[in-house]
Amino acid sequence: MRAIILVFHLFLAIISSCGQTTQNEKPPLSKNPKTLVPEVPKNSSDKINSKVQVYEILPRELNLEYVKKADINLDGYTDAIVVCSRKDSLNSTRPVVIFYGNSEGDYDYIERNDHIICDGFQKIVVTKNYFTFESRIGTKMDYSLIYKTFIVKEDSIYFHRYDEEIYSVYDYDKGGKLDEKITKRAEEYDYPSFKEYK
């Protein structure tokens, strides 16, 4: 009888261990590293930890500094505009990398530009398929607000316009006074793509 009970307990132990890995075993990794990125719900840019989403697929030489999430190509999936710094450089260059979201819930690397922004970067503003990099340069007394806008057309990204507002501060209580406004459109730059813009 004891032998029967021992065999029964041994049988239960074998069944319960099926499908489990030992401490020394590691589950097989996916061949696609982008599957490490969590699924991106549609229209939920304010609810997602952006650094976790794109960190795994950034080029190795870049550090993530700022992420703006929005559906810039209007396909129903959340995209990411990522501002970075270079690990191997002490200058103020801020590479920008564009990722498009896809139906699998991760990202596709699209384009990169190292010449759009440097010192004074503040934020990215998105309006439908337009996105603008806003920067402030100068001093407390004399400064400029710079806006560089790009447009997405049929999944390609192009420079749209450059705007600069030049201010002087004569009275801190009243704020800056707009002295001049400069606007340059894409035709003045020979219609560069996002990647070509300098």
19-78 tens-digit pLDDT: 343 333 333 323 333 322 333 333 334 333 444 457 677 878 888 899 999 999 999 999
Is 25 inside a domain boundary?
no
| pLDDT (tens digit per residue) in 115-141 | 998 789 999 999 999 999 999 999 988
DSSP annotation of 186 reads G
DSSP assignment string, 6-32: HHHHHHHHHHHHTTPPPTT--PPPPS-
- Is 7 within a domain? no
* Domain annotation covers residue 12: no
Q: Output the CA–CA distances (angstroms, integers) from residue 57 to 14, 140, 174, in the order listed.
A: 41, 38, 46
Q: Is residue 173 part of a domain?
A: yes
Q: In which residue are the tokens 């030049």 written?
A: 166
Supply the pTM of this predicted model. 0.71
| Domain count of the fold of the chain | 1
For the segment 81-109, what is each residue's pLDDT rounded down to a tens digit?
Answer: 999 988 776 666 789 999 999 888 888 99
Q: Which residue has the higher pLDDT, 115 or 17?
A: 115
| 2, part of any domain | no
**Residue 19 in domain:** no
Asked whether residue 146 is assigned to any structural domain, the reply reads yes
> Residue 160's domain spans which residues?
30-189
- 134 in any annotated domain: yes
Give the pLDDT score at 66.
Answer: 92
Q: Would you give the DSSP letter of residue 188?
A: G
